[in-house]
Amino acid sequence: MSLKLNESELIEMAVQGQVIFPRCFGWEITHQGEVKIVPSVGGITYNVLVGDSVYGWAADHIEPCVSCTATADKLSENPNRGFNAYACIGNDVTLISGNAKGKKGVVTGHHGGVEHVIVDFPADVIEKMTMDDKILIRAIGQGARLVDHADITVYGVAPELIKKLGMREVGKHIEIPVTAVVPAALMGSGLGHNDSYKGDYDIQTSDPAVIKQHGLDKLKLGDVVAIQDHKSTYGWSYKKGALTIAVVIHGDSNLAGHGPGVQTILTSPGGWFKPRISPAANIGRLLGIGRFRKKRRR
C-alpha cells in the first residue's frame, strides 16, 4: 500500500471572499422544548477558537474566529459555490483590506447550509478586523487523491495537512489518529445531502449519556474524528463497514437532530481506515493555530 498523493496534478488558485455578518434566526425551539435566542453563525467571534470545547457556550452552531462568504446573498450559487468548493482546510488566507491588511490566516472548515468558510486568524489580527474586510485564499486540495487507493476519497483538505494527519500503513489498513469514534446512529442534520465535498453534518448530542459513553463529551473544535459505518463519497449515507474521517468545524446545538458539525476530509466505503485514539488529533495542534498558536514575545 502507498500513501502517495497526486500533488503534481493539483491546481492552486485564488478565491476571494469577505467577512459575513452574524445571522439571527429568531426564536429557536430546542429538543427539550425550551425557547431560546442566542448567538449563532457568522461574523467575527473573538472568544471561540479552534481547540475550544464545542460545549458550554450560550450559543448555537457557533463558528470559531471568522466566518466568510464570497457574497452576502445567493449563498448556494456562484461565486459562493466556487468559494466554498475550492477553499480547503489548511489553506493559507491573506487579508487584502482593512487595518490588518497583509496579515495571514488559515481555513479551518466549511459550514453547510449557511455556506460559510471558517478562518482562523491570530488574536491581534481579529481585534483589528471589521465586517468590511476582504480575504484571498490560496485554494488547493480539491482533486487530491491517494494514488494507489481509488476506493478512498479525499475532500476539502490541503495536501500539506493530509501529510500531517499521521496516517501510516498497518497491515491491510491505514491507521489514523482521531480523538473519538462516532457511532453511525448519532449522525443527524445533513444526512442525504450530496455536498460532502464542501459542507458538514452534525453529531446529535440530545442523549448526554451516549455522548459520554463514547468520549464525545470532550470534543473540541478542530478535532479529527472517525465516523463508523458512514460513506461520504457522493453525499452522507449509512453503509456497514464504511468509515469517514472528519474535522469538527462548529459548536454544539440544542436543536433536534443537530449538534457539533463535522466536515468530511477522507472517506472509505470499504473501511480501509483503522482509527487510533489520540487526544492530540486536532488540526489546531497540527497547524499551530487557534488555542495552539504560539504567542509572540514582546
Q: CATH number of the domain that 102 lies in?
A: 2.40.10.170
Element of type H or E holding 170: strand 168-170
Q: For residue 298, what pLDDT is reported?
A: 41
Average pLDDT of the residues in 71-100:
96
Average pLDDT of the residues in 213-225:
98
Picking from 139, 171, 199, the residue at the C-terminal end of a domain is 139
Does a structural domain hold residue 146? Answer: no
- Radius of gyration for the chain, computed over Cα atoms and rounded to the nearest angstrom: 18
- Domain span holding position 61: 7-139
Whether 15 and 130 map to the same domain: the answer is yes
Cell numbers given for 134: 476582504
> Which has more confidence, 192 or 88?
88
pLDDT in tens, 96-121: 999 999 999 999 999 999 999 999 99
Domain containing 248 — which CATH number? 2.102.30.10
Does a structural domain hold residue 296? Answer: no
Number of domains the chain contains:
2
Picking from 92, 116, 139, the residue at the C-terminal end of a domain is 139
Alpha helices in the chain (DSSP H): 80-86, 123-126, 159-164, 208-213, 283-287
Q: For residue 144, what pLDDT is reported?
A: 97
- Model-level pTM? 0.96
Q: Closest by alpha carbon to 224, among 185, 166, 270? A: 166
In a 3-state reduction of DSSP, which class is residue 102?
A: coil
Picking from 104, 139, 174, the residue at the C-terminal end of a domain is 139
Query: What are the C-alpha distances in Å from 198 to residues 81, 82, 109, 113, 114?
Result: 9, 10, 9, 10, 12
Q: Note the residue count of the chain.
A: 298
Q: For residue 297, what pLDDT is reported?
A: 46
pLDDT at 247 over 60: yes
Whether 12 and 115 map to the same domain: the answer is yes
Average pLDDT of the residues in 222-234:
97
Cell numbers given for 296: 509572540
Does a structural domain hold residue 227? Answer: yes
CB atoms within 10 A of CB 181: 16
